[in-house]
Amino acid sequence: MSVEVEEKMLDKPEAAARSAAAAAGDDVAKFRAAVISKLTYAVGKNPAAASDRDWFLATAFATRDRIVDRWITSTRQTYSEGRKRVYYLSLEFLIGRLLFDALTNIEMLETARSALGDLGVDLDRLRQVEPDAALGNGGLGRLAACFMDSMATLSIAAYGYGIRYDHGLFRQVIKNGWQQEYPEDWLSFGNPWEFERPEVYYDVGFGGSVEAVAVGGDRKKQVWHPAETVEAVAYDTPIVGWRGRHVNTLRLWSARAADPLRLDAFNQGDHVGALVNQVKAEAISKVLYPSDATPAGQELRLRQEYFFTAASLRDLIRRHIDSFGDIRSLPDKVAIQMNDTHPSIAVAELMRTLIDENDIEWDEAFDITVRTISYTNHTLLPEALETWPVPLMERVLPRHMQIIYQLNAKHLEKVRTEFPGDDALLSSVSLIQEDHGRRVRMGNLAFLGSHSINGVAALHSELMKTTVFKDFYRLFPDRMNNKTNGITFRRWLYQSNPGLTNLLVDLCGPAVLDDPGELKKLLAVAGDSSVHDRLAAVRRQNKVALARIIRDRLDIKVNPGALFDVQIKRIHEYKRQLLNVLETIALYDSMRANPAKNWAPRVKIFSGKAAASYHMAKLIIKLANDVARVVNDDPTVKDLLKIVFLPNYNVSLAESIIPAADLSEQISTAGMEASGTGNMKMALNGALTIGTLDGANVEIKEHVGDDNIFIFGLTAEEVEERRRVGIDEYGAIQKSPHLGEVLDAVESGVFSPDEPDRFKPLVDALRHHDYFLVTSDFDAYWDAQRKVDERWHDRSAWWTSSAINTANMGWFSSDRTITEYATDIWNVPARPVRG
């Protein structure tokens, strides 16, 4: 009997099921054959002799092939429809591992698992083989990666532009409690996801001189003659959106010397000197965030920023002219989004390109520039709003310095006309800082050259108007807006927490995979004890998996039944890991003093990197590890309290920690965290947040409700007032029932008997110059933690709050954020996936 006849004899649902099963089986067979083919002809290995790395490469190549067809189709459609393109310029793209990301988005994860299983290969084991692309430092770079995912998911024609760092951010190793930095060698075995484009390269100039050349009449044209040229070579990675409907391009630039070898010097025996030009050029794309503590380090940072910005602008302008002919139509067909201040030299570079290379008059060039560029600010910290010494700019980018001077003169002339006699305003909004050495203010340049300036959380955007850009807001109130950050659920729920994802599909329906708003359906069963059991079972499974990682990496055994209290983020004084450590010491002392009390057992989990030259942050890491050594070895507390610091925090480690988190620590000094996205990721996965009213915590509180988040501490307004009138560290320490004892213990060497004064700088800062208000917020933090204990002991209340957090996090999808950018700033259509 034929299959067709047999299916006619079955009822329709059964026939459909059989047909679907047959199709699935066919997909498995095809993918299995593709993997074998790639293993043989691309990797050059016999299956019998193949290592896990070989199988990973073969699987990645086979997956990439499935993406490429869609990539080419998406690109053709963009060209044929004459669509406006978005160009996202970011010094960081923290994309992490891509195998599961790609397989999930093209809906082939289970197909690949079955195909590899037939070959005796474990897909989950291959996942661990893939290196983590450490092309970012933290939230900024991870946000860029989430945004690239969402732009593809929403079928927005977009390019991401950045640097293909050879080593990215350093690999963190903890030795005797101290952070040590080593190169991150993510490219040592190649990158199967990228396509090198040796034919796509641009000459990027540095230094030299500017010549005024007569071009007729009294008119002169400025011609820049760079003293040095570096080639920017393109490497493309396809970024596939949800359900594979659209694919965009992440184009990263690698630096290459135009003349890699001075043959005359080599032949004269100077074999090292012959390579000087190559080493200097390639240093640009060697390492993310080289230390700028030295003049040479500052110059390299500036060279990096100009290198990738200039190459990106050359590339997008070339593409625009190929498609539309006239550069004057740039604002109609191109939207350039600067992710933070790093690419702000784009304002001067676009002006230079329009004026010097396309003979456009100044005023028209400035109009085109402003209408094309927009700027996202990510921080209120003055040190992050970069400034460059004028002599450095004049030496490295002489033509750009001319343009900046001219921009500034015209800008200040206009301000002087509109606000006569206001010298303070003129000084504030100038592109040149005149005190403490003349410096170029890159944040001011970015603001002046953009039609839209946005913050990344409601509080942050309001504070921008009253702090760093207060005076610019007076001049251009219509330019400022808010776009609260978001996260891609594909990575941070579906991929990271499949157990919870399956449960949500069961409770809310399959539409939840396409529409995060469907999570609201969980509210109807948030108080159901059977749902609590299922949520707890998923969490327990994730905690067991994380406990295994902790045991394997640190040889510390933790109790999966304890409350997993998590703070994972860049180590910085304003993020206040120190507050967490000090409260942990107070908790440890209280547990020892009263062991019979009904304490909530806790595992304190820290992870994050400190900047290589940031001594205080590295000292905080050392304190956390020294306290962990004492507490974890104390039989008095046993499983009541454990402390772990997981080294080398990256995307892959976050994917293991976040689904296992019970409590999310978001305790920055109010008014200093722009947004935060770790808070969104953990709340989405059901963790409860303990935090200040800072960044996106404010909006999370509004969405989940006051009863389902633990808010403590001074508000941003109160922080500002304390700093204005003077911080009373002595009074705060004297009033606290715990803090004085804790500081005395740290200061006297209880946790550093081999070096009693080791942590004196930390304690001295708290006693005499507590800028981040750790002492002021300590008691409120302690009290909030005791409320956490109470909620933890009330199982029904805890899991109800957990469900309510997950149910109300749909708004924090990066798809919503990107839709707002598309509508309000870029003027491009966003097409959401619906089933």
Catalytically annotated residues: 378, 569-570, 575, 677, 681
Contact 313, 357 (CB under 8 A): no
Q: What token pair was written down for 799?
A: 């899991």
Residue 88: closest CA among 221, 287, 252: 252
**Other CB atoms within 10 A of residue 528 CB:** 17
Q: What phi, psi does 584 have (nearest 5°)?
A: -65, -40
Read off the amino acid at residue 144. Answer: A
Q: Is the dihedral of CA 630, 635, 636, 638 positive or negative?
A: positive
Contact 646, 546 (CB under 8 A): no
> Residues for the chain: how many in total?
835
Q: Is the dihedral of CA 687, 692, 697, 700 positive or negative?
A: positive
Q: What CA–CA distance (Å, rounded) separates 679 from 693?
A: 12
H or E element in which residue 368 lies: helix 362-372
Give the angle subtended at the CA of 208 by the CAs of 262 and 91, to the nearest 5°.
85
H or E element in which residue 440 lies: strand 439-441
**Other CB atoms within 10 A of residue 69 CB:** 11
Read off the amino acid at residue 659. Answer: P
- Write the CB contacts of 786 (distance below 8 Å, at least 6 apart in sequence): none
Measured N-to-C along each axis, helices 12-41 and 109-118 cross at an angle, to the nearest 10 degrees, of 60
Read off the amino acid at residue 31. Answer: F
- Write the CB contacts of 11 (distance below 8 Å, at least 6 apart in sequence): none
Q: What CA–CA distance (Å, rounded) separates 26 from 823?
A: 42
Q: What CA–CA distance (Å, rounded) separates 375 from 455?
A: 9
Residue 147: closest CA among 277, 248, 222, 60: 248
Query: Alpha carbon of 167 to those of 171, 506, 693: distances in Å?
Result: 9, 42, 36
Q: What CA–CA distance (Å, rounded) separates 669 from 691?
A: 9
Q: What CA–CA distance (Å, rounded) separates 10 from 252?
A: 54
Q: What CA–CA distance (Å, rounded) separates 523 from 501?
A: 16
DSSP category for residue 207: S
Question: Cα-Cα-Cα-Cα dihedral of 144, 147, 152, 157, to 10°?
Answer: -80
Q: What token pair was written down for 695?
A: 């960044």
Contact 173, 252 (CB under 8 A): no
SS3 262: coil
Contact 706, 809 (CB under 8 A): no
Read off the amino acid at residue 650. Answer: N
H or E element in which residue 253 lies: strand 247-257
Q: What token pair was written down for 113?
A: 């698992």
Q: Is the dihedral of CA 50, 51, 57, 63 positive or negative?
A: positive
H or E element in which residue 617 lies: helix 615-632
Query: Alpha carbon of 9 to those of 1, 5, 409, 614, 740: distances in Å?
Result: 11, 7, 84, 74, 82
Q: What phi, psi does 782 have (nearest 5°)?
A: -60, -45
Q: What CA–CA distance (Å, rounded) separates 177 from 626?
A: 6
